Amino acid sequence: MASSTETPANPASGSAASAGAPTGRVRGVSGNMVTVAFDGRVRMNEVAFVALQTAEGVNARLKAEVIRIRNGECDMQVFEDTRDIRVGTPVEFTGEMLSIELGPGLLSMTYDGLGNPLDQLAVQCGYFLQRGVYLPTLDRSKRWAFSPVARIGQRLQAGNAIGTVPEAVFQHRIMVPFGLVGTAKLIEIAPPGDYTVDHVVAKLEMPDGEVRPVTMVQSWPVKRPISCYKERLLPTAPLTTRTRIVDAFFPVAEGGTACVPGPFGSGKTVFQQSVSRFAEADIVIVAACGERAGEVVETLREFPELIDPRTGRPLMERTIIICNTSSMPVAAREASVYTAVTLAEYYRQMGLRALLLADSTSRWAQALREMSGRLEEIPGEEAFPAYLGSLIAAFYERAGLVRVEDPNLGQARGSVTTIGTVSPAGGNFEEPVTQSTLAVVGCFLGLTYARSYAKRFPAISPTDSWSKYIERMRPALEKNYFAGWVDAIKRMQGIYLAGQRVGDQMKVVGEDDLSLPDFVRYLGSEFLDAVFMQQNAFSEVDASPSNARTALLLQLTMAVIDQDFGFRSKDQARETFTELTAAFRDWNLAAEGTDDYATLLTKIQSRLGSGGGRGRAAFATA
């Protein structure tokens, strides 16, 4: 860059007293990147504000993050529209890394990628977002019923509970700040009572005698994992999503990771929304990263109305939405996935099961690419930066099942399960984001055009997808469904594949040249697909079947496939399977306990031999 020879306005010579917040002046602007000449000490990923005045005389302080320091100047990504910035515009550094506030009151909120509450922004600014307006993440006026947990004199470490406050259906732990190094002595603790988050609820004495006040809110740099747990554990239990094809064939582990790539129009969003509603997690964090605003809106408007059957409370109470949609500033999009995973880790630290849905990690990767381009870095494949793979790996590694140990509250298991969607360019899974992601996740749920074209939803490919967790979770899965479940699933997978091979053959040789047993095999495979793998996400009943119902459905499906109907012609076989498919599909839509449910089940069982009875027995015992 030609500019490297230019002399910064303030050469870093007089930096002796650099402890105070340094200041700088803008030297260049290109898109959302500004180059700043600074005086004093500047830190990587430090937050700074560009203090500009618009042509109309309006003052605005635009938040920015230092992403490169070079030749005595730093490059910053600005989290806002950069118009009106001039060369010479002052910049105020904060010395703090990009952080998010953690504390009670996060649940059921909607934030932008930087943790600004969008509802409050709307109250202040109206319909449109306004640049340079930042609001505190947590409500300052709300009071929380604090109950002390720790005792005076106790030696505490980062992440240990000082007290709890009730939030939604949980006991939200107020913890020793995660950044505390070593052990500190509790010398003061507030009595039970209602306090705001800023109230000092405890005082800690450090070994050097320094006294640190602790409030209910702490700040944590989003790009650093929270790791105050005792140990990381191997995930052995499934995180039930209520999407049958996933739970049965490609289960996701609690504390595991999954990647959902799919071309546009393959139903990624519907799948995502279904998981956010029905997944068996305590906390669901939806990171709408660079996607359509419209998708978030459904969650936003519907979740407060929907009741979570397991808690009897609105679904919104277990949900946090990080919403940095595609038209919002791209640098904040980059930050949004980190903000989201930090929130998930925060709740994991309390012994809760957090599920992070990141939609879409490709948009995040594109934000990285945009910045990399502005920095004029040497591009890697498809112009993505060379460090893309390691950033993706580090992001997914923040998921995990952990054991937390608390001197007063005992042991607990907490988890962060990350399901990231990927939007591969051109639907081509060979592209860098998909490939870097597949290298680090435990479960691959590939959505395909072929299935969505044929309206087979969810369009998760039964042939391409995989889960590395299934063997490891065998005992847990058999407990959830029935003994022999995993083997049954594997047998069904074999039957599916064999039938599909016949189908492929049929495309080449035609139906006539196919033997009747082969044809029946094909029909069986299609039947399995139609009644078990496909699922109607828009039906209240079919969208979230219970484990018992899924077990029964599999038993009945197997009974159909295993039954010898004694067909004499292909048309007869086709008719039988068509009829059974219709009956099963109707039954899938019928709520348990209704007349329809019983009638259709009887109808199905009447078509089956002993298999149907087996199914009923399994249902009774499940």
Partner 1 sequence: MRKVYTRIDQIVGPVVTLRADGVRYGELARIRLQDGNSTYAQVIKLRGEEVSLQVFAGSKGVSTGDEVEFLGRQVQLAFSPDNLLGRTFSGVGEPIDGRPALQGATDIDIGGPSFNPARRIIPHRMIQTGIPMIDMFNSLVKSQKLPIFSVAGEPYNELLARIALQAEADVIILGGMGLKYDDYLFFRAQLAPSKERTILFVHTAADPVVECMMVPDMALAAAERYATAGKDVLVLLTDMTAFADAMKEVAVAMEQIPANRGYPGDLYSQLASRYEKAVDIEGSGSITLLAVTTMPGDDVTHPVPDNTGYITEGQFYLKGGVIDPFGSLSRLKQLVNGKTRDDHAPLMNAMIRLYDAARKVRQQQSMGFSVSAFDQRLLGYASEFEQRMMDLNVNLNLTQQLDLGWEILANHFTEAQTTMPGKLLVKYWPKRAQAA
Considering only residues 216-275, where is the footprint of partner 1 by CB under 8 A? 263-265, 269
* Contact indicator for 67, 45 with CB cutoff of 8 Å: yes
**Least Cβ distance, residue 506 to partner 1 (angstroms):** 8
| Residue among 152, 383, 497, 516 that touches partner 1 (CB under 8 A) | 383
Cα separation, 334 vs 355, in Å, equals: 20
Selected range binding partner 1 among 163-171, 245-253, 458-466, 570-578, rule: CB under 8 A: 570-578
CB closer to partner 1 out of 83 and 310: 83
| Residue among 224, 413, 474, 574 that touches partner 1 (CB under 8 A) | 574
Cα separation, 185 vs 323, in Å, equals: 39
In this structure, what are the phi and psi dihedrals at residue 3, rounded to the nearest 5 degrees? -70, -15
Does position 582 interact with partner 1 (CB under 8 A)? The reply is: yes
Cα separation, 591 vs 600, in Å, equals: 11
Does position 417 interact with partner 1 (CB under 8 A)? The reply is: no
Number of residues that bind partner 1 (CB under 8 A): 90
Does position 372 interact with partner 1 (CB under 8 A)? The reply is: yes
Neighbour-count burial of 566, counting CB atoms closer than 10 A to its CB (0-12 exposed, 13-18 middle, 19+ buried)? exposed
| Residue among 87, 516, 598, 617 that touches partner 1 (CB under 8 A) | 87
Subset of 487-546 contacting partner 1 (CB under 8 A): 507, 509-512, 538
For residue 214, the one-letter residue type is V
For tokens 């969607």, the residue is 421
Does position 293 interact with partner 1 (CB under 8 A)? The reply is: yes
Number of C-beta neighbours around residue 510 at 10 A: 9
| Residue among 276, 319, 361, 366 that touches partner 1 (CB under 8 A) | 366
Cα separation, 425 vs 414, in Å, equals: 35
**Least Cβ distance, residue 616 to partner 1 (angstroms):** 23
Bridge-based pairing of strands 231-233 and 400-406 is: antiparallel
Neighbour-count burial of 438, counting CB atoms closer than 10 A to its CB (0-12 exposed, 13-18 middle, 19+ buried)? middle
Subset of 583-612 contacting partner 1 (CB under 8 A): 585-586, 589
Q: Where are the alpha helices (DSSP H) in 303-379?
A: 330-348, 361-374
Does position 292 interact with partner 1 (CB under 8 A)? The reply is: yes
| Residue among 77, 137, 423, 480 that touches partner 1 (CB under 8 A) | 423
Selected range binding partner 1 among 141-149, 347-355, 360-368, 544-552, rule: CB under 8 A: 360-368
| Residue among 426, 540, 564, 595 that touches partner 1 (CB under 8 A) | 426
* Contact indicator for 231, 245 with CB cutoff of 8 Å: no
Residue 451's nearest CA partner among 436, 461, 441 is: 461
**Least Cβ distance, residue 229 to partner 1 (angstroms):** 33
Cα separation, 201 vs 266, in Å, equals: 50
Does position 380 interact with partner 1 (CB under 8 A)? The reply is: no
Does position 96 interact with partner 1 (CB under 8 A)? The reply is: no
Binding mask 23-42 for partner 1 (x = CB under 8 A): ---xxxxxx---x-------
97's tokens: 């890394």
Subset of 117-146 contacting partner 1 (CB under 8 A): 118-119, 121-122, 125-131
